[in-house]
Structure 1
Amino acid sequence: MSLAELIDQPEFGHHEALRHQTRRVLLLGNDDRVLLAVARGLGRNGISVDVAWSDPDSPALKSQYVHAFHSVVPYSPHDDQWLDGLHRLVKQYDYDLVIPCNDYAVVPLQLEREKLDPDTHWYLINDDAFQVAFDKAKTSRVASELGINVPRECEITDADVQTGFSNREFSLHDRRSLRFPVYVKPRSSITASDVTNKRAAQRVDSPDALAEYLIHEFPDDGVLIQESFSGVGIGVEILAHQGQVLMQIQHQRLRETIDGGSTYRETIDEIPELTEATRKLVQHLNYTGVGMFEFRYNRETGDWVFLEINARFWGSLPLAIAAKANFPFALYELLVKGQTDFHTNHTIGVRCRNLINDLRAFRHQKAEEFELENLLFGKDYLDFYAPDDWRPQLATLVNFARSVLGKFTRHFKASIGRNQRVNAIN
């Protein structure tokens, strides 16, 4: 039984949670931003943080709030070496809580939950919520059943492709009356058979391009195809217990990457319609834990659609930490101490950016303004930098410089090689 399920039991009490408290947490995952934000949120409150299942060169490991990094065998669906390694580690240090921080760690633990040591406190969501939240088609169906707005969409299965859509004449516009561009989304971001490779959504601008995707890139478990919706990306970030929202903040995306991620974000006043839609989903799933619910909102018309659930810590978590909404520590207080009374006095108008990725997005989109003044005069926060914890940002800049130098060196060597071949011919 996971700790999230334990705390849902009527007999669960404050004293039971505290009995073996060590104030030590193990984080699992390979998302640098999330690991760092969770470590800071916990470490600044006196909780010792260890990390495993991460790249040993991760900038997050440079944080003063990461006590130790442990090398554990990666997950494999074919043997249990990874499980044995994890069990040895958690037995040795008797962690209060083990938190999988991104899909790379969440999916294996959720799928193998029956094998996990029942005496260890694993943070897992209930299985029904997992089955819905980690399947975009199921998520959309549940939202529709609850009366929540979703984009105009259709689901395409492998059987559809085999029986009717195997040539370039296939036209989604003709068959489903959807308007291009559309976004083609694999039903799940990763699969148990390949947790290392994330499957991203892809924008498709024409029926021919869609047919090409279906023929050459179609995943076995099918895709969800959604119309593009004109509006700003809004995230509703929550901590919930037994289907009741305990903490909430909202943010909007100021700049996005081409694959749908964000590089620059801002905390905003609550949009009531999105709050209510989130509440319905949380209640329906009897959700206990953290999550971010994604929407598109048109500020001119007031129209909006729900997109998906990130049923884990989300990529823009550094913004919440900067705005004084400490979801990692609140999760610890809920699951380890049984606390359910939280007051979010977060700051509106806080902006946070992933510096290097934001520079790339700015260059790619040819945006008119980079908000350089905000950056130079410290008005914006950075995902990797904090005054009390600056080494992770330095590590990201060093890695970036090495990458640029490596590309330059390869181009230079290639140029010399071409010149030598030309001279030899002459």
Structure 2
Amino acid sequence: MDLIAPLQGQDHPTVLLLGNYRPALTLARVLRRQGYKVICSVEGCDGGAEHCRYVDELWGHRPVGSDPNGFLADLKGFLRERPEIEVVYPVAEEFVRMFAEHEDRLPFGPVYAMTPPDLVKACLDKLGLMTLAVLNKVPTAPFEMVHSLSGFLQAVERVGLPLVIRPEKSTERIGGKKAVVCETMSDVQAVVHELANGMRNLLLQRKVEGRRHNLYFAAQNGEIVRYLHAVILRTDMPDGTGLAVEGETVEPDPELKDYATRLIKALGYTGVGCAQFLVNEHDGSVSFLEINPRIAGNHAVPEAAGLMLSTVAIALAQFPEKPVRSLEGKSGLRYVWTAGDLMGAKLAYLRGDVSAKESYRWLCHAISAAWRADVHMKWCWHDPLPGFFSLNEVLPSFRGLLRRARRWQSAKVEAWHGS
């Protein structure tokens, strides 16, 4: 079972995508071609659905993060008004997390295309998941969860430097960063200063050198049925933390697949997800990071590789016991997220993380990678506007470039006259 028939046999069944960011574009393009009418929520960190030719309608609602009760009321009212909506697809983690926490309050009727709530909670419990990894002999760097500022420095001593600090909730940031690398106690003190503005639960883990490996999968009753191995080559942060902007799909590594298999079996996992590991290229050492129990940010990659996770997620939610055909994704695909790449270079330069020369090299690499890529996270020829508008938000306008050129020329003339 790969594709899913409309629940009520309608000519144009409708799916509601919740979370207007990168994966929503891929989902809209795939599901629209499967005959669905696509509605997408306006809330999201990336945007793009408003320009997508495969999105039929946008839906506005109260913010899920700051007003979950208001959002649930809006959702209930919207589904009551639109009975043709057969599938509700939480895309962004904020919606997945909220649906898992408020399962008993979700409106009855549509299929919710998501991993079962108990599994979502188990995967989002970073401490519990890492403990499960250790129990199943999956290599995991030393870690500790910190809940208060008073115990923070003691935990740093126990885990040891260098270390990586991440918020328990992946939607939160520390100083605008998804993760902070601390090489010295001075770095730790800088984090303490940042946390003085508001402490949140933090995961401390010993830093392991290496690249991130993403294992995209679909599983049924603890058994992997769809699988793809991808290696992240670069991220939007100079230190390798942050979001992937360039990568490639590779032949599955037996060792990593074995580790993922152990965890998925231990969880009794049903649904789609992405397991992440760090692998040191020099000595081959491995460290488990996390399992994201949802459609991944770079969802265009497993779709391009043939996993068909967009429809498999619906099928597993609708008929969890009906067998899904096993399949491994295509290796050798290069992928990029160009807007995120360019924004990463821009912000790194503005923060002082890279020099002007390094920023220029970064930009050149981003353009070269985009030219050579097989898969783009936002851009596609048959739906170009989301890609165009995302680049427009990152790049300076032509008029802005002219203003900068005139200022540079004026400064050059003044310097010449001054000499």
Do Structure 1 and Structure 2 share a fold, with TM-score over 0.5? yes
Alpha-carbon displacement from aligned partner over 1:277-324 (angstroms, at most 9, x marks no partner): 212222222222111111011233222111011111111212222223
1:341 aligns to what? 324
CA distance, structure 1, for counterparts of residue 88 and residue 280 of structure 2: 39
Q: Sort the Cα spacing of 1:156 and 1:242 in 2 relative to 1 into closer, same or farther, 3 A.
A: same
CA distance, structure 1, for counterparts of residue 328 and residue 134 of structure 2: 32
Q: Sort the Cα spacing of 1:408 and 1:328 in 2 relative to 1 into closer, same or farther, 3 A.
A: farther
- Aligned partner (choices 270, 273, 286) of residue 255 of structure 2: 273
Alpha-carbon displacement from aligned partner over 1:40-60 (angstroms, at most 9, x marks no partner): 222232222211142599223
CA distance, structure 1, for counterparts of residue 222 and residue 110 of structure 2: 24
Tell me which amino acid in the other structure corresponds to 1:205.
E
Q: Determine whether 1:300 maps to 2:289.
A: no
2:234 aligns to what? 255
Structure 2 counterparts to residues 167-246 of structure 1, below 5 A = 170=153, 175-176=157-158, 178-180=160-162, 182-190=163-171, 200-217=178-195, 220-246=199-225
CA distance, structure 1, for counterparts of residue 100 and residue 159 of structure 2: 37
> What is the DSSP-based 3-state SS (H/G/I as helix, E as strand, rest coil) of the residue aligned with 1:312?
coil
Alpha-carbon displacement from aligned partner over 1:213-252 (angstroms, at most 9, x marks no partner): 2354166453111122122210001112222222111100
Q: Sort the Cα spacing of 1:80 and 1:412 in 2 relative to 1 into closer, same or farther, 3 A.
A: farther
Alpha-carbon displacement from aligned partner over 1:333-384 (angstroms, at most 9, x marks no partner): 33346653224363211011011222354675646872755644x5532211
Q: Determine whether 1:382 maps to 2:363.
A: no
Deviation at 1:70, TM superposition (A): 1.3
Structure 2 counterparts to residues 84-99 of structure 1, below 5 A = 84-91=73-80, 92-99=82-89
Q: Determine whether 1:329 maps to 2:311.
A: yes
Q: Determine whether 1:318 maps to 2:313.
A: no
2:15 aligns to what? 25
Q: Determine whether 1:137 maps to 2:127.
A: yes
Contact kept? 2:246, 2:369, Cα under 8 Å: no
Tell me which amino acid in the other structure corresponds to 1:284.
A
Deviation at 1:408, TM superposition (A): 9.1
Contact kept? 2:212, 2:276, Cα under 8 Å: yes
CA distance, structure 2, for counterparts of residue 68 and residue 78 of structure 1: 23
2:336 aligns to what? 353
Tell me which amino acid in the other structure corresponds to 1:150.
T
Contact kept? 2:52, 2:386, Cα under 8 Å: yes
Q: Sort the Cα spacing of 1:207 and 1:172 in 2 relative to 1 into closer, same or farther, 3 A.
A: farther
> What is the DSSP-based 3-state SS (H/G/I as helix, E as strand, rest coil) of the residue aligned with 2:387?
helix
Q: Sort the Cα spacing of 1:349 and 1:371 in 2 relative to 1 into closer, same or farther, 3 A.
A: farther
Identity %: 21
CA distance, structure 1, for counterparts of residue 216 and residue 108 of structure 2: 29
Q: Sort the Cα spacing of 1:190 and 1:110 in 2 relative to 1 into closer, same or farther, 3 A.
A: same
Question: Structure 2: any 5+ residue segments left out of the alignment?
Answer: 349-353, 411-419
Contact kept? 2:114, 2:313, Cα under 8 Å: no
Structure 2 counterparts to residues 133-172 of structure 1, below 5 A = 133-158=123-148, 161-162=149-150, 170=153
Tell me which amino acid in the other structure corresponds to 1:60.
A
Q: Determine whether 1:68 maps to 2:63.
A: no
Alpha-carbon displacement from aligned partner over 1:369-408 (angstroms, at most 9, x marks no partner): 72755644x5532211112221211221232346796799
Normalising by structure 2, report the TM-score. 0.80
Q: Sort the Cα spacing of 1:50 and 1:251 in 2 relative to 1 into closer, same or farther, 3 A.
A: same
Contact kept? 1:238, 1:292, Cα under 8 Å: yes
Q: Sort the Cα spacing of 1:124 and 1:334 in 2 relative to 1 into closer, same or farther, 3 A.
A: closer
CA RMSD of aligned residues (A): 3.4
Tell me which amino acid in the other structure corresponds to 1:291.
G
Q: Sort the Cα spacing of 1:402 and 1:374 in 2 relative to 1 into closer, same or farther, 3 A.
A: closer
CA distance, structure 2, for counterparts of residue 143 and residue 296 of structure 1: 14
Q: Sort the Cα spacing of 1:408 and 1:84 in 2 relative to 1 into closer, same or farther, 3 A.
A: farther
Q: Sort the Cα spacing of 1:94 and 1:82 in 2 relative to 1 into closer, same or farther, 3 A.
A: same
- Aligned partner (choices 92, 95, 100) of residue 105 of structure 1: 95
Contact kept? 1:246, 1:340, Cα under 8 Å: no
2:351 aligns to what? none
Deviation at 1:101, TM superposition (A): 0.4
Q: Sort the Cα spacing of 1:119 and 1:406 in 2 relative to 1 into closer, same or farther, 3 A.
A: farther
> What is the DSSP-based 3-state SS (H/G/I as helix, E as strand, rest coil) of the residue aligned with 1:370?
helix
Q: Sort the Cα spacing of 1:132 and 1:199 in 2 relative to 1 into closer, same or farther, 3 A.
A: farther
CA distance, structure 2, for counterparts of residue 410 and residue 217 of structure 1: 37
1:41 aligns to what? 30
Q: Sort the Cα spacing of 1:257 and 1:292 in 2 relative to 1 into closer, same or farther, 3 A.
A: same
CA distance, structure 1, for counterparts of residue 126 and residue 136 of structure 2: 15
Q: Sort the Cα spacing of 1:362 and 1:323 in 2 relative to 1 into closer, same or farther, 3 A.
A: farther
CA distance, structure 1, for counterparts of residue 236 and residue 279 of structure 2: 18
Contact kept? 1:97, 1:336, Cα under 8 Å: no
Contact kept? 2:305, 2:333, Cα under 8 Å: yes
Tell me which amino acid in the other structure corresponds to 2:283.
T
> What is the DSSP-based 3-state SS (H/G/I as helix, E as strand, rest coil) of the residue aligned with 1:96?
strand
Once the two structures are overlaid, the 10-residue window that deviates more, 56-65 or 303-312, is 56-65
Tell me which amino acid in the other structure corresponds to 1:340.
P
Q: Sort the Cα spacing of 1:128 and 1:155 in 2 relative to 1 into closer, same or farther, 3 A.
A: same
Alpha-carbon displacement from aligned partner over 1:177-217 (angstroms, at most 9, x marks no partner): 6232x1111112248xxx9x987221222113213423541
Q: Sort the Cα spacing of 1:379 and 1:261 in 2 relative to 1 into closer, same or farther, 3 A.
A: closer
> What is the DSSP-based 3-state SS (H/G/I as helix, E as strand, rest coil) of the residue aligned with 2:281?
coil
